[in-house]
Amino acid sequence: MEEVPQERPAPDMPAPGSNPAVGQAPAPAPGAPADADETLTVPPAPRRLTPLRMIWREAIKYPGQVAAALIALVTTSTATIAIPARFKGIVDQAFGPHAQPGVIDQAFHTLLLIVVVLGFATAIRFYYVSWLGERVVADIRARVQSNLLRLPPAFFETNSPKEISSRMTSDTAIIEQVVGTTVSIALRNTITALGGLIYLFFLAPKLTAGLVIGIPVVIFPIAWFGSRLRKVSRSSQDRVADIGAMTAEVLGAIRIVQSFGQEGRERARFAGAVERTFDTARRRILIRAVMTAVVIFLVMGGITALMWQGALGVSNGSLTGGTIAAFVLTGGIVAGSCGALTEVYGDLLRGAGAAGRLNELLLEQPDIAPPARPITLPSPPRGALAFQNVAFRYPSRPENSALADFSLTVEPGETVAIVGPSGAGKSTLFLLAQRFYDPQGGVVRIDGVPLPQADPSEIRARMALVPQEAVLFAASARDNLRYGAWDATDEAIWAAARAANAEEFLKALPEGLDTFLGESGARLSGGQRQRMAIARALLRDAPILLLDEATSALDAESERLVQDALDHLMQGRTTLVIAHRLATVRAADRIVVMDGGRIVEQGNHASLIAADGLYARLARMQFEGV
Ligand SMILES: Nc1ncnc2c1ncn2[C@@H]1O[C@H](COP(=O)(O)OP(=O)(O)OP(=O)(O)O)[C@@H](O)[C@H]1O
């Protein structure tokens, strides 16, 4: 043996199948001290494997597949041990003094049969174990997504959707890896190691006792060296990264370096970095060299000692040659299995980390839940909306009062325009009306029913929202329009499109309603997207309309088309509109002027202009030239 055994990956390399690309910090060896210089951008792997229980609970939902995988696992392990056992028979019966004719053929027939069984069982094991890995991941993804959809928008303010989507991809990929590969390796090697040890005891109890005592003596130093090596390798990589950063910095600023005559200084600085890299690499090489010597000494020394004892046993007749052959083969298998087990431990910890993080998402409970016995909203809907002494602070900014003692009653069919400077609390009204948050004081009512007493889905079914920025999905025009009214017929869709002034451009699309609109509806213009959003709200046919007028500049023609579409939409509905256009405030039944979360003025355009207050000032700035 020349080097550290390479059938296992060297400790400073990722284990096969481990997934460093997912941004996990390399897991330390069991019992390795935590790295002081470790810079973690992701949560560290936990020290315990308990979160893996969640994966087991998912897997056991498929008892047939779990049973098939386990049976195949036991079969492959048994077949692996059966090979040296059969080999013992061959050596003892075919070569010994009492060799029987034909026994070699017969023994090798059995051996071939074992190999066939091993092949089939391995294929079955691979299929079911991988199947379970993919199945568990599919189920976890679906359950996590389903729970996320229940959570209010506030949750996604503190938990960034980017981070969550990475959990949905990278953490589930780790779990797939753990179930589909790591657990299989761990189980297979545990079974093989245990089965092998039992067989070894059966073969030669005394020798095996020596082996069992010897295993930790070999494993612990290797694990200790492995953890040191990993640490040094990491700092070696950091030093190499320093060199890269320095090169990029200096070459990027080459003009400054040269015009300030700093070549000499940069040369010295770089030489220093190169030497530091060399020093760390030298330490790594030294540790590895010593480790190689220790491994060779311990492993080969151990094997030599066993062979020695075995040879003595054969010479004094207490052991047969076949026993020694089988002992060495099985011992090799057991050692290989133990080695594989130390390698997968880190992966299992990583899997436990991933499972823990996904479990958090699965267990997250919405703050805004339907009441145990929701009050049914009056039918037919009237479309009344009332805010009564509402006080609200966003949970993430409790020091800032977004709404204070806010009262507003919107009668059925009334159009109320909300006007106010940025940060006045206009959008907050919409969020509270849809019960995305509960106010800390006061109450919001829809058709007389306090929102917390009704089912949030029923509340939202009575509202149609047209946001400032039209949100379109990467789907067909038809699906974008009937989002929220999936049973709408094509006639209804076209009628809504016509009313929203969207018919003409929809007809001109290459495949009509079936045209794919691209990522976020990128294939439509801003004005067209807004008219799509208006048509969608029309199709929803809700009694209350929450309209946040677009501020994005549209050309006069587009503006007229959008305004016309909005007029259609507002007809016969209660409308709360965050107004940015003079035409809207003029058409409104009432204008409510907000500032600092309170109503500061109310009236119509003429009376508010005459009052010469905040509205008059805003109107001069906002609506000038409109
Ligand atoms: N998600 C949030 N978390 C914490 N504070 C928020 C949040 N959204 C808004 N606020 C704060 O609440 C107050 C009211 O904001 P709101 O968005 O309702 O104002 P707005 O009148 O709609 O403003 P704009 O016209 O700029 O959209 C502001 O002080 C704002 O900073």
431 Cα–ligand 1 center, Å:
10
Q: How does DSSP assign 323-358, residue by residue?
A: HHHHHHHHHHHHHHHHHHHHHHHHHHHHHHHHHHHH
| Residue 603 to residues 184, 413, 423, 610, Cα–Cα distance (Å) | 72, 17, 21, 10
What's the CATH architecture for 42-204+341-365? Up-down Bundle (1.20)
- If you search the block for the tokens 């329009």, which residue do you land on? 481
According to DSSP, the β-strands at 590-595 and 598-603 are: antiparallel
| CA–CA–CA angle 492, 495, 498 (5° rounding) | 150
Share the mean pLDDT of the chain: 84
Dihedral pair phi/psi, residue 38, rounded to 5° = -70, 125
Amino acid at the residue 122: T
> Which of the pair, 2 or 413, is modelled with greater confidence?
413
What percent of the chain is modeled with pLDDT above 90? 35
The tens digit of pLDDT for each residue in 523-550 reads 788 888 888 998 998 898 889 999 888 7
Give the start-to-end residue ranges of the domains of the chain: 42-204+341-365, 205-318, 385-622
Rounded to whole angstroms, the Cα distance separating 221 from 238 reads 26
Res 19: pLDDT: 35
Instruction: Name residues contacting ligand 1 (CB within 6 A).
Output: 157, 394, 396-397, 400, 402, 420, 422-428
Confidence of residue 15 (pLDDT cuts 50, 70, 90): very low
Rounded to whole angstroms, the Cα distance separating 408 from 412 reads 13
ipTM summary value = 0.96
Quick check: 476 and 521 in contact, CB under 8 A? no
Q: Which residues have CB under 8 Å from 246's CB, separation 6+?
A: 269, 270, 273
Which long-range contacts (C-beta less than 8 Å, at least 24 apart) are formed by 57-63?
A: 58/136, 58/139, 58/140, 59/132, 59/135, 59/136, 59/179, 61/139, 62/132, 62/135
Rounded to whole angstroms, the Cα distance separating 2 from 61 reads 48
- If you search the block for the tokens 């009441």, which residue do you land on? 371
Write out the CATH class of domain 385-622: alpha beta
Q: Which of 122-126, 308-312, 413-417, 561-565 has the lowest mean pLDDT?
A: 561-565
Res 552: pLDDT: 62
Which tokens in the block code for residue 530? 């807004």
- The DSSP 8-state label assigned to residue 30 in this structure reads T
Pocket-testing residue among 158, 400, 419, 428, ligand 1, by greatest number of atoms within 8 A of Cβ: 428
Q: Rg of the chain over CA atoms, in angstroms?
A: 36
Q: Give Cα 18 to chain centroid, integer Å.
A: 17
Q: What mean pLDDT comes out for the span 103-129? A: 90
435 Cα–ligand 1 center, Å:
16
457 Cα–ligand 1 center, Å:
24
Res 625: pLDDT: 47
Collapsing DSSP to helix, strand or coil, 551 comes out as: coil
Res 27: pLDDT: 35
554 Cα–ligand 1 center, Å:
25
Res 528: pLDDT: 87
Quick check: 614 and 593 in contact, CB under 8 A? yes
Q: Which atom of ligand 1 is nearest to the CA of 425?
A: 18
Q: Do domains 42-204+341-365 and 385-622 have the same CATH topology?
A: no
The tens digit of pLDDT for each residue in 43-99 reads 455 567 788 888 889 999 999 999 999 999 999 999 998 888 888 888 877 776 666
- The DSSP 8-state label assigned to residue 37 in this structure reads T
Dihedral pair phi/psi, residue 379, rounded to 5° = -125, 135
Confidence of residue 29 (pLDDT cuts 50, 70, 90): very low
| Residue 2 to residues 72, 266, 300, 454, Cα–Cα distance (Å) | 36, 41, 11, 75
> Which of the pair, 345 or 266, is modelled with greater confidence?
266
Q: Give Cα 367 to chain centroid, integer Å.
A: 22
Rounded to whole angstroms, the Cα distance separating 68 from 11 reads 33
Quick check: 343 and 27 in contact, CB under 8 A? no
Hey, whose CA ends up nearest to atom 13 of ligand 1? 402
Q: Which atom of ligand 1 is nearest to the CA of 424?
A: 21
Instruction: Name the H helices within 19-62.
Output: 52-59
Q: How does DSSP assign 431-447, residue by residue?
A: HHHTTSS--SEEEEEET
The tens digit of pLDDT for each residue in 267-287 reads 999 999 999 999 999 999 999
